[in-house]
Amino acid sequence: MRSTVRRRLGFATLAATAAFGLWFAQAPVSQAQLRATSPILTDRHGARLNVRTVENGTWRVQADLDNIDPAFVEALIEIEDRRYYSHAGVDGAAILRALRTWQKSGVASSGASTLTMQLVRQYKPRPRTLRSKVIESFEALRFELHFSKREILEQYLTRVSYGGNIEGIDAASQIYFGKSPRYLSTDEIALLIALPQAPEARRPDRNAQAAKVGRERILKRLLAADLITLREFSNANTAPVPLEKSRQPDQAWLTAQKLARSGDLTKSWLDPRLQRRLQNQLSLAVDRLPYAVNASAILVHAPTREVRAHAAIGRRDHDGGWLDMTAAIRSPGSTLKPFVYGLGMDDGLIGTQTRLRDAPSRFGSYRPENFDRRYYGDVTMAQALQHSLNIPAVGVLDHVGGRRLDSALRAAGASPSQSGPNEDGNEAGLSLALGGTGLRATDLAMLYTAIANDGIAAPLKWTQTDTPEDHGFELLQADTARSLRRVMSAAPRPTGVMPAHLNKHAPDVAYKTGTSYGFRDSWAAGISGDYVIVVWMGRPDGGPRPGVTGREAAAPLLFQIADSLARDDRAPALHRSQKTAERLKSPEEIAPVILFPMNDTEIAMNAFGEASEGIDLLVQAEGSDVRLYVDAEPIRKGRNGYRFKPTSPGFYDLTVIDEVGRKSEGRFRVVSLQDTRHPGL
């Protein structure tokens, strides 16, 4: 009987041990939990354009120790978990200290939670009981088994609460101080450590006095630990606390919605200046109209195929006013006619001066009409394209083949919503010349970029991680693409736009308009300088707008955009904005400038180390986020700027790196005033 009981106990112990081992072997958090951070979209320079919240409207940005002030990390560990790098998730010495304090006073006044245990609570909040402490201890051991110390610290600094809907040091620093946590002043460091200890009670925007008191407590402990000087304590303690929150970047929300995903840092090719301007231009165009309408546009840098601006604006007082209409499938109207004529030119059927018949015609059972129901007899191919005549375009497509046009568009990367010709004939495919299919504005931008690039089609580049195409698809021959650009450049300008040959400052725009059946879609697509511009206007529900054409609605906006691009190009260098000038400068010209100490400078000093007054390091750089290093050691920015205290005479290397990675270097020498051997003293 006893042996049976012992055997059962042995099996139970073995099973419990196995279950415990399996539990330990499992990851404490899922990949979905790790990636549940705010999606961030940056512009082509790496600056943030858009940051979005996660569940419950929480701002939670992924922390990166490389982008956090080392002085903050040092202070945090000193205050919250001094033995962080030596324990395995549970600090035995801290637990014994807490138990002794509890035994003496009868009150648990000394905490024993490590940073790892605090991280466990952030993922799985529990009541503050002894049982919870035990569970958190085991969970902390599990975290330490699966993650490195760096990973645990980054997770903690991602999820720690800073009050309200703010989590993580990055979001807190951006919202409370309006800056990256890469460089923090002493008062900011103390406040960012004090806040998580009482996130709601110490919120500076609601209780400034409590925030100051909490900050002072942290400053006193940092002073006692010799992490700050008495002067730094005094300056930090009298500094004001932030009373208002800063807004997170919310530009290019449409592109962010399209590209950015939870947990991702998406580096786009958007140009912030062009993006802001395009959004303003669309907004003004929509606001001027007496009826509800949406407007969308995409701006592509043709040589690189990079999307530099992307926007959609609509009135919120009608359904669909918030939709991304650049991704909607709509009839392209006559914007495909250049490709009809281009394929005909590639096949040797026509040239720009070939005479085509513009008269009522029937193609099997298909009988198209010109838009204005007027006919002009014999016209050249150039005239037919410039005036968007329907009959000549359908006639050329009848010889080229609707199925061929459809296949060419698909091979180029577009996605027509209809397959084109019927299997039993060619008639249905002929409507492709007049917009008898569905395309997205992004498809049209890609196709017109092929015309700008001598006929070679390739996908648009939205992000800096997009894989470049080695070759691409030859949609049109190079000579054909160049001929089309010349013909389209000579097309009549919209009403109110001066012809290019009458105004030397007018942009050279090769463009084509389009209007879908029932006046549902107004299009203008064109090439101006190095840019391809596609504009769409209409109702998101597909409702008609009688009499509103692409030439009247979309073309003026296209020329307005083109004109603003041309003004950028012709503006004198002395009158350009700082950002425009930066675009034209070489990387060496816009790199940070070391003002003091300049290269090969010698500086004489009386004392070294903490006894010295230090050397003020002066730099000039585009942007505000600058990193300084002396002999590869980071120099933290204080309230009075960057100050370096040499420890001894000798040579020192100074490196300055700006927010987009541009670097300048210099070397200076420090000598002692007591060194009589130094010449010149």
DSSP 247-286: PPPBTTHHHHHHH--TT-EEEB---HHHHHHHHHHHHHHH
Q: What is the CATH number of the domain that holds 654?
A: 2.60.40.60
Query: Would 288 be classed as within a structural domain?
Result: no
Average predicted confidence (pLDDT) for the chain: 84
Query: Would 271 be classed as within a structural domain?
Result: no
Query: Would 258 be classed as within a structural domain?
Result: no
Beta strands in 280-339 (DSSP E): 294-301, 306-314
CA-CA distance, 416 to 70, in Å (whole number)?
54
- Answer yes or no: do 562 and 607 share one domain: no
Q: What is the CATH number of the domain that holds 68?
A: 1.10.3810.10
- Answer yes or no: do 606 and 510 share one domain: no
pLDDT at 484 over 50: yes
Task: Check residue 12 and give its pLDDT.
Answer: 57
Residue of 161, 268, 334, 388 marked active site: 334
In the three-class reduction of DSSP (H, G, I as helix; E, B as strand; rest coil), residue 420 is classed as coil
Catalytic residue flag (residue 334)? yes
Query: Taking residues 484-500, what's their average pLDDT?
Result: 84
- Answer yes or no: do 566 and 606 share one domain: no
Query: Would 285 be classed as within a structural domain?
Result: no
Domain that holds residue 340: 296-301+311-317+320-573
Q: End of a domain among 512, 545, 573?
A: 573
Percentage with pLDDT > 70 across the chain: 83
Q: Would you tell me the crossing angle of helices 337-346 and 390-400 to the nearest 10 degrees? A: 40
Task: Check residue 336 and give its pLDDT.
Answer: 96
Query: Would 26 be classed as within a structural domain?
Result: no
- Answer yes or no: do 421 and 520 share one domain: yes
Query: Taking residues 25-42, what's their average pLDDT?
Result: 81
Q: End of a domain among 573, 603, 629?
A: 573
- Answer yes or no: do 399 and 470 share one domain: yes
- Answer yes or no: do 463 and 372 share one domain: yes
Question: Which band of pLDDT confidence, cut at 50, 70 and 90, is reported for residue 97?
Answer: low
- Answer yes or no: do 523 and 494 share one domain: yes
pLDDT at 207 over 50: yes
Q: What is the CATH number of the domain that holds 563?
A: 3.40.710.10
Question: Which band of pLDDT confidence, cut at 50, 70 and 90, is reported for residue 574?
Answer: very low
CA-CA distance, 143 to 149, in Å (whole number)?
9
pLDDT at 31 over 90: no
Residue of 38, 78, 80, 167 marked active site: 80
Query: Would 377 be classed as within a structural domain?
Result: yes
Query: Taking residues 605-629, what's their average pLDDT?
Result: 78
- Answer yes or no: do 476 and 617 share one domain: no
* Domain count of the fold of the chain: 3
Sign of the Cα pseudo-torsion (674, 675, 677, 681, in order): negative
CA-CA distance, 449 to 442, in Å (whole number)?
10
In the three-class reduction of DSSP (H, G, I as helix; E, B as strand; rest coil), residue 57 is classed as helix
- Answer yes or no: do 485 and 609 share one domain: no
CA-CA distance, 610 to 605, in Å (whole number)?
13
Higher pLDDT, 35 or 406: 406
- Going by the DSSP 8-state scheme, the letter that residue 658 receives in this structure is -
Query: Would 208 be classed as within a structural domain?
Result: yes
Residue 328 amino acid letter:
A
Query: Would 605 be classed as within a structural domain?
Result: yes
Question: Which band of pLDDT confidence, cut at 50, 70 and 90, is reported for residue 531?
Answer: very high
Judge if the upstream peptide bond of residue 272 is cis by omega within 30 degrees of 0. no
Query: Taking residues 174-191, what's their average pLDDT?
Result: 93
- Answer yes or no: do 450 and 361 share one domain: yes
pTM (two decimals): 0.76
Q: End of a domain among 205, 221, 238?
A: 238
Q: Quick one: tokens of 196? A: 């998580």
Backbone angles phi, psi at 666, to 5 degrees: -155, 165
- Answer yes or no: do 514 and 422 share one domain: yes
Residues with Cβ within 8 Å of 142's Cβ and at least 6 positions away in sequence, in order, are 23, 24, 28, 89
Query: How many CB atoms sit inside 10 A of residue 26's CB?
Result: 8
Task: Check residue 609 and give its pLDDT.
Answer: 79
Question: Which band of pLDDT confidence, cut at 50, 70 and 90, is reported for residue 592?
Answer: confident
- Answer yes or no: do 502 and 404 share one domain: yes
Query: Taking residues 480-492, what's their average pLDDT?
Result: 95
pLDDT at 514 over 80: yes
